Structure 1
Amino acid sequence: MVSDQPTANRIIVNSAEQDDLIESVTVFQSNRAEIKRRVRLDLKSGQNHVRIERLPSCVNEDSIRVDGTGTAVIFDVVYHAPSRDQGSRATITTDLRRSLETLQKERSITQEQSEFLGNYGRTLDSKNMNIEDVQRFLDMFGPRQLAVAKRIQELDAEIGKAQKELNEAQQKEHEDVRGAQRGVAVTVTVLAETDDTAELTLTYVVSNASWKPLYDIRASIAKSPEDTSAIALHYRASITQTTGENWPDVALSLSTASPQLGSSVPKISPWRIGFPAPEPILQPMARSATALRAKAAHRSLLSGSPELTPLTAPVAMMAARAPMAIRKAHVESTGVLNTTFGIPGRSDIPSDEGSHKVVIAVLDLQADLEWICVPREKESVFLTCKVVNTSEFTLLRGEASVFMDDNFVSKSQIEVCLSNSLQILPYS
């Protein structure tokens, strides 16, 4: 019996060719990034199976979400893991390489045979040979030399063919390696009442992407006691990503959150506190071993409490006047646990080994300077800065390059500093 059910419309979307449809990216510090990409579709009336291929292989399956606009209904979303069938291609390449090496060795041996026959013929003394010996040598030498020359010609053709096959296999293996970075596919089943265009928003979290804060501290030292010293703090982010997916012209956000996929709250064992049982009165000989055990238990009980480390409150940061206008990020959201910085404009972050730097803000802050000298230990005079972070930005722990009068002075470290908090920084 033939079913009257209409055949579902199948749509294949190659995401590698549509990286320009990535709308926004939020990069976390903890090797995570959230991607939002648009998928434009021409739907047919009825059921549509939309297969979105060549997504990054580092996509977290549980993070995938699909939303859409229009009257169509999303029925199902199916995740397809990357193929693990990469070993067969490498085996083929290895076999072809060995075959080529065998042909090259055979050609070398055959070439040596040809040279040996030629050298042997030149060593014959024609004055001491009669015509019959010469004729016998030529009857043997001619066909043998022709056979060797023919075999060399055949081997050259086989080597050329084997080299071509090896090059093609290596190219395919290279493509497989690159394709392995984008091996995930997602199938979305959409039911449309009529033929219409639609747009899906595919959101997912990938690994192999992170950012870290970097700082340039530029000081303007007061010329007189009446003047105030200032610091320009260039707050930047260094972004790296090797997801296999390029992020061209995207709305970029940086989050201080640390999403832990699949983690759980750690459990601890309780500590039992009490008094040891009184030691029994024993004879001297019997007491020695028993008392030692009791005292050892007593010591282990009392030594069970851990050593407490005093907590240090976060301290603050510094900054000064910016020499030129630089785009400034805005704080999109500030929660109890994290802050998200929105980078203005659009950003291009390709998938490579490079570090891509964007400016978060340039903060102009007043500094209270102190010169400290310990002449008994060292002749140098040290400059420290007390700075209050009067900006809306939370300063994260990171490396800082210190400049004074546009000259590099030293490398330093900035600790976590909340808004309106104080930080003391060794300057030089």
Structure 2
Amino acid sequence: MEIPVETVITAVAVYPDRARVTCRGRCELPEGLHQIVIGELPLALEPESVRAAGAGTARVRLRSVDVHRRHYAQTPAANVQALEAQIEKLQDELQALDDRQAVKQASIDHLDGLREATTEYAWGLARGRSTVENQANLMRFFEEEDARLRGDLRALDTEQRDLKEQLAKLQAELDQLRAARPRQRYETRLEVEALSAGSFEPEITYVVGQAAGGRTGWRPLYDIRLLEPSGGRAGGRVAVTALAEIVQNTGQDWSDVRLSVSTARPALNQRVPELKPWFVDVPHPPQPLPRMAHAKAAAARQDFAMESAAADAAPAAMMMAPIREAPVEVEVAEVQDSGTAVSFAVSGSVDIPGDGTPYKTTIGQHDLTPQLDFLAVPRHTDAVYRRAKFNNTTAAPLLPGPASLYAGDEYIGQNRLEYTPTGAEIELILGVEERVTVKRELVRREVDKRLLRDVRQVVYGYEIKLENLLSTPARVTVQDQYPVSRHDQIKVRLDRVAPEPVEQTDLHILKWQIDLAPAEKKIIRYDYQVEHPRALQVVGLLD
């Protein structure tokens, strides 16, 4: 006996590149063998992933699970059928307008034919069968009727144009929905044996992957806000809000479902990486690409950059709404760590459309204590950057994803978080601090003018001026450099530096940590000397 069962989606677990869906239905089973038919399953379904279970008052033995495609005469989705009905109605209305236009045009053609019969009217007037007044009345009739008919035609054209615009809009929506909801769908047949009569609730789970019209999965988004204390007090905190952006284009709406998002990647856990031969060779000059290949590569890079900017700009625009005085409480997801993956169970039920429209939900809010300082690289810019370092003290790792950065209520730009496990440190640049200034000046340049020497000696001296206009102390990390020689006849030596740097590398990178009290100014000074034979041409110096 074949028993069709309608099911509803009750739970969805979303992975970065796919999702696991759970459906449940209900039916009455008499004793005996039956085929439980569950239809209208999406084409994005992976047939080998379908699993069946169930419970009820009937004693049921599951014998087999079969999955195959079914072709429908009409698209099964209700909203697609509604669109198709609207389009058919508009097409009928357009046909009626075409018929009315044809009638009006035939009347105009008839009037034109009567107007052209001037010879007959002249003979009637000459023989006394018609008068001049009658001829005048007839001409006025022609004019009035012609004006009326042409006015009716213009009104019909306007009405027809409006209907065509509506038809084009509905047709575009239908094409989009048909791409996600084709007339082919999967159907699952459960062969069961009812050992006793009663009710039975079949449950199937399946995995949906990448559909033809788009992707299914989720990615993390972050809103990171630096909240500084008021009243000039020291300290501060970083508020991190984690969001999950979920997209599914399976053509099957997830309505009123229990939702969880997981960091597991099922597709990556199926095969152990295989080692390939490791070759060592001499360098070969790169082969020039054809001109067309260069153009295609450049176009691909540009498209990728535009898509990334658009994808990163969307959450930023959403987060720019001002904070209310009495903010609403945000419900966050429950973290479930299984050791191999972390899942975030969203409270309540959610609705996610099956047409690829992004759905965002908050999965975490955390207040973290940062170490705040400032960073200056005055050789390149006079901007002083605000920097925050903090540890991930949350119960879950921070996954890689774009982050919108704020200083208080001010949006300061975009950054990207890398994977940060619990306990690891995060370093973020949180905009420019205008109230801490830095200026680098060349204050000394002396050339040895002793002509008897065959060595040219140049001394350069720099000053880096710092000022703190904040009402609180500021620690500024200053980075600068002096040149590195790549020739054995060019000698570079650091002569004098005050204060001493806290770090100096072999590549002549200097680093200072300067503590500034409110309204305090400090100066860093250093000189370096460059020597080389006069006949040797040196590149890379200021002169």
TM range (shorter): 0.5 to 0.7
For 1:74 and 1:267, the matched residues in 2 are separated by 39
Closer/same/farther in 2, CA of residues 375 and 261 from structure 1, 3 Å limit: closer
| 1:121 correspondence with 2:117 | yes
Tell me, what secondary structure is at the counterpart of 1:114? helix
Between the two structures, name the one with larger relative contact order (CA 8 Å, sep ≥ 6).
1
Q: Give the secondary-structure state (helix, strand or coil) at the position aligned to 1:180.
A: coil
Distance 1:262 1:199, change over 3 A: same
AA in 1 matched with 2:12: V
Equivalence for 2:500? none
User: Any conservation in 2 of the 1:182–1:244 contact (CA below 8 Å)?
Assistant: no
Structure 2: runs of 5+ lacking an equivalent? 76-83, 130-162, 210-214, 285-325, 432-543
**Counterpart of 1:183 in 2: which secondary structure?**
strand
Paired with 1:386 and 1:236, the residues of 2 have a C-alpha distance of 21
Which position in structure 1 is the counterpart of 2:12?
25
Does residue 74 of structure 1 match 2:62?
yes
Match of 1:406 in 2: 409
Amino acid at match of 2:242: Y
Query: What SS is found at the alignment partner of 2:250?
Result: coil
Q: Give the aligned partner of residue 36 of structure 1.
A: 22
1:230 lines up with 2:237 in the alignment: yes
Question: Deviations for 1:188-240, whole angstroms, at most 9, x for unmatched residues?
Answer: 11110222111111101113422111111111225699733211101111112
Segment of structure 1 superposing worse, 264-273 or 393-402: 264-273
| 1:242 to 2:266 alignment | no
Q: Which amino acid aligns with 2:338?
A: T
Map of 1:196 onto structure 2? 198
Give the 3 Å change call, closer, same or farther, for CA 326–263 of structure 1 in structure 2.
Answer: same
Aligned AA (1:227):
A
Q: Is 1:328 matched with 2:332?
A: yes
Shift of 1:179: 5.1
Distance 1:114 1:224, change over 3 A: closer
User: Which deviates more, 56-65 or 120-129?
Assistant: 120-129
Matched, 1:13 2:5: yes
Query: Within 2, Cα distance between the matches of 1:53 and 1:24?
Result: 18
CA deviation after TM superposition for structure 1 residue 118, in Å: 2.4
Instruction: Describe the SS at the equivalent of 1:260.
Output: helix
Distance in 2 (alpha carbons) for counterparts of 1:38 and 1:50: 12
TM-score norm. by structure 1 comes to: 0.66
Gapped regions of structure 1 (runs ≥ 5): 1-7, 132-162, 274-300, 305-321
Aligned CA distance change for structure 1 residues 193 and 427 (closer, same or farther; 3 Å): same
Q: Distance in 1 between matches of 2:421 and 2:350?
A: 27
8 Å Cα contact 1:14-1:54 kept in structure 2? no
What is the RMSD of the two structures over their aligned residues, measured on CA atoms?
Answer: 4.0
Q: Quick one: structure 1 residues 250 and 50, their matched pair in 2 at CA, closer, same or farther if it must change by over 3 Å?
A: same
* Structure 1 match to 2:266: 259
Identity across aligned pairs (percent)?
A: 27
Answer whether contact 1:39 1:202 (CA < 8 A) is retained.
no
User: What is the CA distance between 1:14 and its match in structure 2?
Assistant: 3.5
Cα deviation 1:127-160 (Å, max 9, x = unaligned): 34698xxxxxxxxxxxxxxxxxxxxxxxxxxxxx
Distance 1:249 1:106 in 2: 52
Question: Aligned partner of 1:405: which letter?
Answer: G
When residues 23 and 86 of structure 1 are mapped into structure 2, their CA distance, relative to the original with a 3 A threshold, is: closer
Where do 1:24-423 residues align within 5 Å?
24-30=11-17, 32-70=18-56, 71-83=59-71, 110-111=106-107, 113-121=109-117, 124-125=121-122, 126-128=124-126, 177=178, 180=182, 183-207=185-209, 208-222=215-229, 227-260=234-267, 269-271=276-278, 301-303=281-283, 325-336=329-340, 338-423=341-426
Secondary structure at the counterpart of residue 358 of structure 2: strand
Residue type matched to 1:339 in 2? V
Cα offset, 1:359, TM superposition: 0.9
Whole-angstrom CA distance in 1 between matches of 2:107 and 2:68: 54
Aligned-partner Cα distance in 2 for 1:242–1:400: 25
SS of 1:118's equivalent? helix
Whole-angstrom distance in 2 between the partners of 1:225 and 1:49: 74
Contact 2:181 2:250 (8 Å CA) reproduced:
no
Q: TM-score, normalised by structure 2?
A: 0.53
Relative distance call for 1:331 and 1:383 in structure 2 (3 A) is same
Amino acid at match of 2:13: T
CA contact (8 A) 2:245 2:359 kept: yes
How many residue pairs get aligned? The number is 328
Matched AA of 1:220:
L
SS state at 2:114 partner = helix
Quick one: structure 1 residues 225 and 104, their matched pair in 2 at CA, closer, same or farther if it must change by over 3 Å?
Answer: closer
Would the alpha carbon gap of residues 423 and 40 (structure 1) be closer, same or farther in structure 2, given more than 3 Å must change?
A: same
